[in-house]
Amino acid sequence: MTFDYELVGKIGSMALIDREDGIIDYTRVARISRELRPGFIWVSSGATEIGRLDYIKRTGRELAGEHAKTDYAAQGQAILMQTYRQFVDPCYSVRQVLVEHHHFNDEQKSEHIKGLLLRCRAQNAIPIVNYNDAVSSEENRRLEIMALAHGGKRVFECVDNDETAARIACLVHARALVILTSVDGIYTDPDDPATLVTDICGKDAYELVENIEAHKQFCKGASRAGANGARAKLEYIKDAAAQGTAVYIANARYSIAAVLNGSVPCTKISIG
């Protein structure tokens, strides 16, 4: 099987934050950044929360009102990219790619994004992708999504970066999709670490999708308010897994290399 990209990876907001000190976890970002190389696409949440923490640090207060998320995201994006650029190997270029839902619901826009990503690989560059919260009006987005759905099309929202990462993995036909979160993977009992599911597999795409659906019943809750949790992760990754991408849901405390070589606990989802 031919793959256009070696890996698409994603890290969630809460996995990027040092909760005790209320700042970005520089040690974790540094470790991840040093593993990134051309042939990897990195989808990074965190801009909004990082912007919020930075604003509080500078002013001693939080923003109020309906546009707070927009303003925090605009402030946090600069810090997020600066941090990745600081730690990524200086031999490689780093490129920020900000996407919105319409990039994945329009064939021409999807092809434009795909071309950009493929050029990054050829030009020794690492794309850092995030949803563009700074310019996305939630009310307008919902109206656009409703209009698309009304036309009978399958619609991708991509506000959750798990979905964004999965759609990109499909777009570039990635060999692996690694989703780093605050837990070790999927559990049959989320309150019992001993019930970690290490493998979800099937002899073909159809059986694999059936087994993914079966495991969704065990998922409940999320790491933070507004997050969609493990059930949504399994829904989002179905297309990527069905096309032959090996999907790993793992804890962000582990290195990408350790997740891929199977030396740390995680959930692997694949055909075979």
In tens, the pLDDT along 64-75 reads: 988 999 999 999
Helix 205-216 vs helix 229-236: crossing angle, to nearest 10: 170
140 alpha carbon, distance to own chain's centre: 23
Q: Identify the band that residue 223 occupies on the pLDDT scale cut at 50, 70 and 90.
A: very low
What is the pairing mode between strands 40-44 and 93-99?
Answer: unpaired
Q: Residue 15 in contact with residue 41, Cβ under 8 Å?
A: no
Best-predicted range by mean pLDDT (9-13, 141-145, 225-229): 9-13
What is the pairing mode between strands 23-24 and 17-18?
Answer: antiparallel
Q: Residue 220 in contact with residue 229, Cβ under 8 Å?
A: yes
Q: Does residue 211 surpass a pLDDT of 60?
A: yes
**What pLDDT, on a 0 to 100 scale, did the predictor assign at position 152?**
64
Polymer length of the chain = 272
Q: How far apart are the first and last CA of the chain?
A: 13
**What pLDDT, on a 0 to 100 scale, did the predictor assign at position 151?**
64
Q: What's the rounded Cα separation, in Å, for the pair 42 and 112?
A: 18
Burial 192-219 (b: 16+ CB within 10 A, else e): eeeebbeebebeeeeebeebbeebeebb
Which of 156, 143, 133, 182 is closest to 25 using CA atoms?
Answer: 182
Q: What's the rounded Cα separation, in Å, for the pair 136 and 154?
A: 21
Q: Quick one: average pLDDT of 196-200?
A: 97
**What pLDDT, on a 0 to 100 scale, did the predictor assign at position 23?**
85
**What pLDDT, on a 0 to 100 scale, did the predictor assign at position 229?**
80
Q: What's the rounded Cα separation, in Å, for the pair 239 and 265?
A: 24
Q: What Å distances lie between residue 71 and 17, 77, 137, 140, 232, CA to CA?
A: 19, 10, 12, 17, 27
**What pLDDT, on a 0 to 100 scale, did the predictor assign at position 2?**
84
- pTM tops 0.75, yes or no: yes
* CATH node for 5-271: 3.40.1160.10
In the structure encoding, which two tokens stand for residue 236, read together? Answer: 């989002």
Domain boundaries, the chain: 5-271
